[in-house]
Structure formats: structure tokens, C-alpha cells
Chains A and B, each alone.
Chain A
Amino acid sequence: MFLTRDAGVKILDFGLARRSLGASEDTKAPTLSPTEPGTVMGTVGYMSPEQVRGQPADHRSDIFAFGAVLHEMLTGRRAFQRDTAAETMTAVLKEDPPELASIAPGLPPALERVVQHCLEKRPEERFQSASDLAFDLVAHSGSVSGPRGAAASSRWPGWLARLVAALVAAGLVFEAGRRSGRPAATATSTAMPASFIAITDDAGVESQPSLAPDGKSLLYVAAPAGQNDVFLLRVGGRNPVNLTADSPVDDGQPAYSPNGERIAFRSERDGGGLFVMDSTGESVRRLTDLGHSPCWSPDAKEIVFSTDGFLYPTDLGGRGGGLQVADVETGKLRTIVGGTALSPRWSPHAARIAYWGLRPGSGQRDLFTVRADGSEATGVGTPVIADAALDWAPAWSADGRFLYFSSNRGGSMNLWRVAIDEASGQALGAPEPLTTPASWSGAFSLSRDERRIAFETLDWRSTLLRVGFDPVAEKVVGSPMPILRSTQPMRDHEISPDGEQVAFTRAGTREDLFVARVDGSQFRRLTDDAFRDRGPAWSPDGRRIAFYSDRGGTYQIWAVRPDGSGLEALTAIDVSPTFPTWSPDGRRLVLVSNNASGLLIEPVAGSPTSKATELPRPRDGSLFWPFTWSEVGERLAGAVVEADGRVSGLAVYTFATNRYELLGGSDNTWFRNARWLRDGRRLLVRNTQGIQLVDTTTQRSRLLLPVTGT
């Protein structure tokens, strides 16, 4: 679209717009009808919210696009300009454009209202026709005036009127095209043009897709009745079939066999393990009594799996198992690789297995491949990508030339791929994006012809709440009040010693450290980079916040002032310390480690310390993860972790006796979930039911506040 020297408006190029090719026309690609609900088409930034969602679009989508163009012409800036296509689409869905007056002072309020009316998120709230819009716009264009002066007053109505004429004419053409049934489609502006369909839209989370080799049906996991089940859905269909309806426990992680006739999956039934069933859900039989994320070998004779699992990529504990392979007929196991390895995917010509692993000596997880015959069993596989971005969820192309994966390297968690040599596992180029219309997408599954990719999307809602507490009556007081809300999950938080501020980390796409006042004001980001910053802990004087981070290559303890200044490393310890807790006098910190039973350090100003004292082990092979230090400094409370990585319960360590008191509670399986009350006798504990009050003397526990959520 060009503004000519004589203030005329000409549409010289329709850019990405083109005629869509119907099934009967000259294309072999299985593209979808542009008017089919669920298809996303349009130029990122000018697409309407309903187009981004893949919902049916009509002339009101053109009115939205017109509003976006008008906004840009009036201000010189795009209404929804962001760094990446995914972020732009998220802005289209969820954010208001900046006010015209804030960018271009002097525009009449009536014109701003016209633009806003065009850019309403809901189609029914926009102008309902191009003629209504034209009438309103022409009426107001005659009133343009203001501090730009007389020259501006006389010039603006002219180009505006011509713009109205040009765009409304174009809009009417689009409307006429739609009415006559002619397709009017565009493609996405991504590296690989694609159309998108939302296959499921039920309440809750549908996840873990496995696309049938022919791309015509899909397995996924959902919990409409409260427990996870495996569902089968025909692509384009609306009636999923629950394949594990007869199972009273969680079932998930389905994987189609190469010919689509069988399904491997994880089930918690009878102690848990991997199972195989027919594609109809019949003939279920156990394969192993352990394992997660099964993936079939190309000849369907074996299944590779990880010994440990995970729910979200920014939510891993310290545990991590290796990869094993099970013979489908005999169940016999062999080890492929040790250490931390998750999400294995067998390459199409059987040579290698891609997985999500941990880079040796660091907290950085990345993509690796390993020989499928197990000849690299003692070591770590070959890294595919080695940088600070979070790359996970590998999936091979059918010809083995590409490895698709999810990554936050573009700012959102999105779809990427890298060219790869299947035989050696070496990357053959830089990662390239294939942007999806979602702020978080992962767990990809490709059809055999590589034309279809199923993936899961996630939208988070996280709230930090505060509720009054009466420690004498041992009950909450009043109703919980929200302090902060976030579209990314808030991972850890701690209130400042004066009770005025809260430090917290967000996960989801990136893990950064934030501080805000407890009334939600003065929200500020203390770290802003690709490193993982977790576990904030205020020093007793409130002047520093300790946290753990991999910003130095390995996980170490760092500290920063609440205003964001003074970032420094506190430790240089070779056992990857995490989750710092200050002593009440502020002279020491106690740390969590997967390789030691609680580490005591004395931070030294200006120099990271390498000296740490390990606490005794609760029993042979187990570790103590300290979470909270009592007010007068004599006791620690935390979790006991057994040799197999299982958290067996809470424990209290007393410095004077050097002994542990085990409290039990095996559902206390996550970090930083216990806090001492001032009396050093009672603990607040967050577990699966909510917030418990635990008396460490009587070992009596009761639920103070039920809390639901993911």
C-alpha cells in the first residue's frame, strides 16, 4: 500500500495475499479450505483475533485489518508490533494497541474511537459493515484539526478520504468475494508457510499428541473426569473416543506404532509402567514396570523410553534417569544412555535416538542424539545444539533430515527445526523457526509425509495470593486476596523480612527474577536473560536476594539487591547448589544439592566461596534438602530424598544434636514447600491438598487452606 506524492493511496501489491488453491486446483499439498473454521491465515500483525484462533472469519476481520492499517498510517507504528510472529499474535489476542494520542498527539478523539472500534477483539463489537465504517470515518475525517495547524487540517482529510475510498473498495471486494464463495486467503509469514487448526478446545488441558502415521487420526491425553486418559480423535472429527476408560488411574504419553496399528503408553495401573494396546484400545498388556515417553523403533520390534518423566520443561526436579529399550515381544531391557535423558525419539532409519538431556557439568538441558545400539551407553550422547536457549521435545522428520523441537530461543516457546545428519547426529545448520500461533507450544508429532504436525499449546494463569493467619487459633483469617497475576506460572516466591515486598520467579517460557510490592505495585524485573534464575531468598536485613542460576555455566548461588544492582556469585561449588536459605543472622546460607545432603556456606563479600560443609545424611544413600531455617537458628526443615530420587517425606534437622526427626508425608514432593512459624515448632507445608499446618512435636498435621490448580 503506497501513499503517492499527490496524497493518493494505491494498493500496489497484495503481498502474501493470493488465491487459495482448492482441492480441485493445481496443488498436491493438503492445504485446507481458507474458510474452514480452525484455519489460521493472514499477515501477522494485521490478523484479527478470530483469524489467529483459527475461527471463522468474515468481513469484520477485514475491518480489524483496516483498523490496524489505519493505526499504522496515523502513528507510523504498527498496532501490534512485537519481535516475533508468535508474540505479535499473542498481542493481537490479548493486548490493546497503544493509544493514538500517546504516539501522535493532536489527533481528534473521534478518530481514535474509530480505530478502537475497528480493533475490538470481539467481531460483534466492531463496525458491522464497511459502509458503516466508511460513513463514520468520512464524517470524522472532516473534523481533523489540532495543533498541527491549518496546513495539517487541510491535508489530513484528503489522504484520509482517499484511504477510505481505497480500503473500503478493497474491503467491499473481499466481502463480495466471500459472498460469492471465492476464496480470499493469505499465508502466514513464517519460514515455512503453514495453516493451523485447533483440533481440541475443551476446558482443561489436552496434551501429549501422537499423530497417526497417515496423519488422519490423533491420540492425546485429557482429564475431563479428573484423571488422565488416552483419547483417539479423527482429524476433523468432533467425537473423541476414550481408549482407557476402563482404567481407574492415570494413563498417558501415547505413541502410535510405525504402522499405526498399536499404541504404547504409560499407565499408573498396578504399580505403573509401560503398556501396549491395539489402536482401538483393546488387548492391553504390560511391557515394563517402569518408564515414560515411549517411542517405537522403526521396525516396531523395540520401544525406547526414559526411566524418569516430567510434566513441564521448566518444572524438572533434580532427578533424571537414562534411556532404556524394551523388546516388544519379550520385555527384555537394555540401557542406551545413563544420566539425565528424557523424551527419546527414534530416528526414521533406526540409527540414532534423539533426546532431551543435561549438558555435563551444567544445569543446561539441550538436545542430544545417541546411537540406538547402545554403544555409547556409558557416556553422554552427541549434542545437537549447545546454547543457552531451552530446547526440548525432539521429533524427527520422516526422512531423517530434520529434527523438530520446541524452543524459547525466539522469545516464546515455539516450533523450530534444525537440519541434521541422521547417521552422526551432527547439526548441519542453524535452527530455523516455524512459528505457530501460540505463545507456548511443544510436544510435536509428525505425520509420515511431514505435511502435518500435531502439537500442544498451553495458556497459564498464575496468581499470588495473601490471606490472614491467626497462629494461636491456627486458622486463616478472612478471604484470600490476589497480590499479582501472571500469564506465566509463578514458580517460587518469598516475602521480604519487612513484609512489604515479594520476590518471585516466573517459569513457562523463560525463568527470570522479579520483585513487587505486596499490593502489586512497583513490579520490576531483576534479571532479563535466557539463564534460569530460581529460588529467591531475602537476606534477613532485606538488602539482598539470594537465588540460584546457571548464568555462570553451572548452577551456583547468586545474590542481587532488590533494585537490581549488585549482581554477584556467592558460590563456586562443584555440586551444583540450588535453593538458598539464609540463617537468621544472615551470616550463613544452607543450600540444596542433588549430590550432597544440605550444604552450609559462609558467603564472602566480593568473592564466590568454594567452601561448603555438608550436613549428615538422614540414612545411607539418602539426602536432606533443607527448605527453611527456624527463627532462632537451631533447626532446619526440609525433604528427605532417597537414593532412587524419590522424596520420602519431611524431616527436621537439629544442629545441637546433629540428628534428624522424620515427619513422613510422601506427597511433599516439591521444592521449597515448607516454612517455619516463629515458634520453631510448627511448619506450614504446601502439598497436593493445599496448605497444611504441621506440629513437629506432636507430628499432628491438618489442612489450613485447600488450594486447587495444576
Chain B
Amino acid sequence: MIGKSVGITRDDRFITYTETAAEGDIWLATLE
């Protein structure tokens, strides 16, 4: 899934992870 990965350093001392958010709107195009 987009933006939901996890990792860990080889010494187990740090966890890494992604945090993803989206903003979405609906638009209307009027062709001339």
C-alpha cells in the first residue's frame, strides 16, 4: 500500500516508517 512501509536498522536501534496523507478536491472543467 502506498506510503505504509516499515524498516529497521541492522542494530535494531532505530525504526523507520512512512506517514502519508492526501488532500483531494473535485473540480469541474467547462470546455469552451
A-side interface residues toward B, CB under 8 Å? 29-32, 54, 187, 192-207, 209, 211, 218, 220, 235, 311-312, 314-315, 415, 434, 436-438, 441, 450-469, 471, 476, 480, 483, 489-495, 497-499, 502, 507, 518, 669-675, 677-678, 684-686, 691, 704-705, 707-710
Contact = CB atoms under 8 A, between A and B. Distances in A.
A592 B26 CA distance: 37
12 contacts: A202-B25, A206-B26, A209-B26, A454-B26, A457-B24, A459-B22, A459-B24, A462-B21, A465-B16, A467-B15, A469-B12, A669-B1
Interface in B1-32: 1-32
B28 A204 contact: no
A200 B8 contact: no
B31 A453 contact: yes
Given A457-B25, A483-B16, A497-B10, A709 B31 contact: no
A205 B14 contact: no
Given A465-B17, A495-B16, A707-B19, A490 B28 contact: no
Given A315-B2, A491-B2, A459 B23 contact: yes
B18 A205 contact: no
Interface of B: 1-32
B2 A468 contact: no
Contacts of A466: 14-16
Given A205-B22, A490-B5, A705-B15, A499 B29 contact: no
B20 A196 contact: no
A194 B15 contact: no
A251 to B, nearest CB: 17
A282 to B, nearest CB: 23
B9 to A, nearest CB: 4
Contact of B4 (A200, A202, A495, A686): A686
Contacts of B15: 466-469, 476, 684, 691, 704-705
Contacts of B17: 464-465, 467, 480, 686, 691, 705, 707
A452 to B, nearest CB: 6
A684 B16 CA distance: 11
Contacts of A686: 4-6, 17
A207 B12 contact: no
B24 to A, nearest CB: 4
Given A199-B25, A451-B30, A455-B29, A709 B19 contact: yes
B2 A456 contact: no
B2 A312 contact: yes
Contact of A450 (B3, B18, B27, B31): B31
A315 B1 contact: yes
Nearest to A202: B25
A230 B27 CA distance: 16
A196 B28 contact: yes
A672 B5 contact: yes
A672 B15 CA distance: 15
B25 A456 contact: yes
A260 to B, nearest CB: 16
A456 B24 CA distance: 7
Contact of B30 (A195, A480, A507, A684): A195
A499 B10 CA distance: 7
Contact of B23 (A436, A458, A465, A677): A458
A415 B8 CA distance: 40
Given A31-B30, A201-B25, A463 B19 contact: yes
A195 B27 CA distance: 10
A65 B10 CA distance: 53
Contacts of A459: 22-24
A685 B31 CA distance: 48
A383 to B, nearest CB: 26
Nearest to A674: B6
Contacts of B4: 670, 673, 686, 707, 709
Given A670-B1, A707-B19, A220 B7 contact: no
Closest 5 CB pairs of A and B: A205-B24, A670-B1, A686-B6, A315-B2, A462-B20
Contacts of A202: 25
A491 B19 CA distance: 10
B23 A203 contact: yes
Given A205-B22, A471-B12, A492 B5 contact: yes
Contacts of A218: 26, 28
A30 B30 contact: yes
A507 B5 CA distance: 13
A495 B28 CA distance: 42
Given A187-B32, A465-B18, A467-B14, A495 B7 contact: yes
